[in-house]
Amino acid sequence: MAAVGGLLWRYPLVRIRRLADSPTVAAFDSRAFAERFWADDLTPAFAKAGNAGEVMAVIRRDGAEACRSLGRSVGLSRTCLFLVQGAGTIVEVEAAGCRVALDGDAGEVMLATGLVFGTAVRDVTGTVDPASRTDSRELAAAATEINRLVQDRVIAPLTAAAKAGGRAEFVACGQVQGRLPADKPWKLIPLRASVVAGPPPNAEPLR
């Protein structure tokens, strides 16, 4: 018994420490994460965005093939994400967003101007691995902050500037499950957008 007692004293099963003596883990800064993602991942990815009209045509022909070759899905989700760019004339400004007729009669898209929810913007580049953090709340908080940046930096200025007849150039994120309906514009989350008044200038679309 004395020997056992001596071992327990030397190597206790439980150690009690003051909180001040315990190692601390840095709190996750979702705002800083969002800022780094915006600068290091999202903005550089704009250069690889597909042509909105061409991507839309492939999705309407074969959604599964479009997802494999032009988009990305996360985990087991049936939703496919696409990063696209385009330019066209603003046909109508609605409460939900700006309806844009793409150049070259390539169809219509809706640049959404409402609140942004979900993880589409966070996941569209494929640079954020959901398995990279053990706490799912941290990635959810990061998505919320990224969406807030989209609201403040892109959607708010777009809402103020958009007028029917104006010209819009954009980079945006789109989500699709299966095929796109042919009779509705594709709803996109704008990630970069500019609007100018008047007829289309002789310039290439924003990239």
Domain assignment present for 30: no
Taking residues 173-183, report their average pLDDT: 84
pLDDT in tens, 105-158: 999 999 999 999 999 999 999 999 877 766 789 999 999 999 999 999 999 999
Predicted pLDDT at 6: 56
Q: 40: which residues sit within 8 A by CB, 6+ positions away?
A: none
> What is the SS3 string spanning the chain?
CHHHHHHHHHCCCCCCCCHHHCCCCCCCCHHHHHHHHHHHHHHHHHHHCEEHHHHHHHHHHCHHHHHHHHCEECCCCCCEEEEEEEEEEEEEECCCEEEEEEHHHCCEEEEECCCCCCCHHHHCCCCCCHHHCCCHHHHHHHHHHHHHHHHHHHHHHHHHHCCCCCEEEEEEEEEECCCCCCCCCEEEEEEEEEEECCCCCCCCCCC
CA dist., res. 128 & res. 58, Å (int): 26
Instruction: Give the confidence band of 177 by pLDDT, cuts at 50, 70, 90.
Output: confident
CATH number where 177 lies = 2.40.50.420
pLDDT in tens, 44-63: 999 999 999 999 999 999 99
Domain assignment present for 86: yes
Domain assignment present for 203: no
Mean of the per-residue pLDDT values of the chain: 86
Taking residues 38-42, report their average pLDDT: 97
pLDDT greater at residue 146 or residue 77: 146
Domain assignment present for 15: no
Domain assignment present for 157: yes
Domain assignment present for 12: no
Structural domain total, the chain: 1
Domain assignment present for 34: no
Domain that holds residue 140: 50-196
pLDDT greater at residue 18 or residue 179: 179
Instruction: Give the confidence band of 15 by pLDDT, cuts at 50, 70, 90.
Output: low
Domain assignment present for 60: yes
